[in-house]
Amino acid sequence: MSRPLTISVTCGFALLALIGVLMPDQKKNESASKNGDHASAGQGVFQTTCATCHGGRGQGSYEKKAPSIASLPRWYIEDQIKNFRSGVRGNHQDDLTGQQMRGAISVLTDEQVSEALDTLETFPAVDHEPTIQGDLKKGAHYYRENCMECHRFNGRGELAFRSSHVAGLQDWYLLAQWQKFKAGVRGYHPADVGGAKMRKAVRYLENDEVAKDVIAYIATLAKKFPDKKSEKPRASDSKVSTK
């Protein structure tokens, strides 16, 4: 009677000790991916490649100048990846961040990119703290007059025009892209149909001050018009740190 009990108790302790040895690493990995840090190999293409710049949940990174890609629609992401790959975007000598993105995906196969995008789709959209001060009232007015036609009232773009989501992206990223279109560092390629539209649109606003007002307004849209279609819960960037 007492013998099997002793054996099972001993086995129980051995098992607990074994779990104790294995647990810390497992816990470390879990909390690394929870914090959005890039995680170790064996976790799929998204975590081993994209996460190094875009963060473990696609929330973006100010240091890497990488946008928050978690709330972008798949058609737009696929368009842009095609553009980066073919040199329609990210191939200008003054486009350093575009070149980084272009270089990073040049080593991946189409299947690997597709796997990364499947992973990306599982992450919630992320809210970002504003970093650009602007006159929101003026920004709203100029947005309605000059941008809404393509980017829509809620900033979620329109597949039919292939105009992108601007809601849900960080304001500093939007401003940087605005300046790239203006300088001809993005949208310069003859095959860049969407970029050409933006090269025209940058002429609609008289100066960068007005552009900042509009972008500060755009930064309010994601919270104002939550993404009902996917009903994804939103995370706050203070929890996943994009800055």
**Which of positions 166-225 make contact with ligand HEC (CB under 6 A)?**
166, 169, 174, 177-178, 194-195, 197-198, 201, 204-205, 214
| Residue count, binding to ligand HEC (CB under 6 A) | 45
Nearer to ligand HEC, 196 or 235 (CB): 196
Q: How many CB atoms lie within 10 A of CB 57?
A: 27
Q: x/- binding map, residues 102-141, to ligand HEC, per CB under 6 A?
A: --xx--x----x--x-------------------------
The least distance separating ligand HEC from the CB of residue 215, rounded to whole angstroms, comes to 6
Q: Give the footprint of ligand HEC on this chain (CB under 6 A).
A: 49-50, 52-54, 64-67, 69, 72, 77, 80-81, 97-98, 100-101, 104-105, 108, 113, 116, 146-147, 149-151, 161-164, 166, 169, 174, 177-178, 194-195, 197-198, 201, 204-205, 214
